[in-house]
Structure 1
Amino acid sequence: MNIQLLTQLITHFQHELERRRTSKERYNWQLHARPEQLIPKGDWRIWLIMAGRGFGKTRTGAETIRHWVDSGQYRRIALIGDNILNAEQVMVEGISGLLQCYPPGEGPVYERSKQRLVWSNGAVAELYSAESYENLRGPQFDAAWIDELAKFRTAEATWDQLMLGLRLGKAPKCIITTTPRPSELLERLNQRADTVITRGSTFDNADNLAKDFIDLMHSHYTQTHLAAQELYGHLLIDNQGSLWTRSMIQYQQPQEV
């Protein structure tokens, strides 16, 4: 082998090593996630993430499922959206969905006709919708991810069917990613002893959002009722007979410390 060819091979090898290192860093969630986006420690069954739009809820849900599957902890997973199209376009194929969490060629295969993701280690994640919550009857799971629970018209029924099927393994878990809306179910989940709650605002993720968008939110919405719910992720509740209702209150942005 001549020196020129050997030099070319060494250079190619070095470039390939650098490409793999860069790719590994790019897809390393531990390097890019904010602390509140990492899986909580402790003995919990439900991780409820109630946060404003753009917080990074979807990416957090997808990366959590990725970790659970890749670590071998969970193998039968339910992915539940408001409807199948949303589940597919947001949770699976979206810019922050499961398929985007992996380097090309290393992630699960999405079997569109069967509405499921299949990993090389045998794990399977099946798509379900709140519109057809009865489909949750029969199957059983060891983990689940629900996206935008607060917008489900059949939230109670969907939740009940999931809980009846979330029964495999030693410690079944469910992650919920949602922008809050007034909901008795969310109120109850907030009060459960086995629920870990993460709250956050749109502005927590400002570094990854368009500056024009952040400026617009600050200038037009930060002192509105809409902002309290949609930007700051607050669960707004009207008490029966109260003199002041959500629509009567002007939301005040928390002061920066």
Structure 2
Amino acid sequence: MSTTSRRIGLIIVGDEILSGRHQDKHFAKAVELLGARGMQLSWAQILGDDRDMLIAAFKRSFASGDIVFSCGGIGGTPDDHTRQAAAAALGLPLELHPEAREAITLRTMEMAQKEGRPAPDMNTPENQQRLQMGVFPRGCEIVPNPYNRIPGFYIQDHTFMPGFPVMAWPMLEWTLDTRYRALHHVEQRAEHAFLVYGIPESRITPAMVAVEQRWPGVRAFSLPTVGEDGRRPHIELGVKGEPGPSAEALAFLQAEAERLGGRMTP
């Protein structure tokens, strides 16, 4: 698959998102971080902490060839299933990654030193449980976590990160700027939109079809409103694609909207 056609997906894992106890923050941040690098999110999913569901989702995403970022569920408690599901989806065993062991051990030592406790014994049940957070699918690479050293992992174009934004977002940036630097600003894309009043969406639809037929690399979009928040009903019409063709398509769509009786002001 060429660099110009790589799709990028986001998987957000957590029952707390689906129940409404927590509000997702990853989607907007991922869009922002990708956009700053000339990249674009192609799809996103929110999934609960259900191992079978996660296995099925990861099987699909691994098979897709997409670049995927997954946030959440990589901890060591019974409600965390992402590490196990990723391994099962790939048919790989789980094992303690040596670099993860080193990072978690260093973090445990730092915590003990900060609290004035003796150097920790990593063979105690409590510290063995901490090391479970470094048990990843065999053959993966770690993703460094600058916040508290507890790493995520990377395998087959999938990057798995914690659900905590303070950890996940720096890890996402690091991954974009190291593994995927070659994809930054590969495609020059533009997006233009305008508001049109006084015509129904059905009347402008043939012009949108004509845009995509005349300029194959350009997509037309329509976002109608029904007058909520005291605003008059209108349609936000737009185009996105390569800068030159997009500008031509925009001028065509504006002219068609006016020809069909649309107004650019309320």
Structure 2 length as normaliser, TM-score? 0.30
> If each structure's strand is expressed as a fraction of its own residues, which one has the higher value?
2
Larger radius of gyration: 2
Structure 1 length as normaliser, TM-score? 0.31
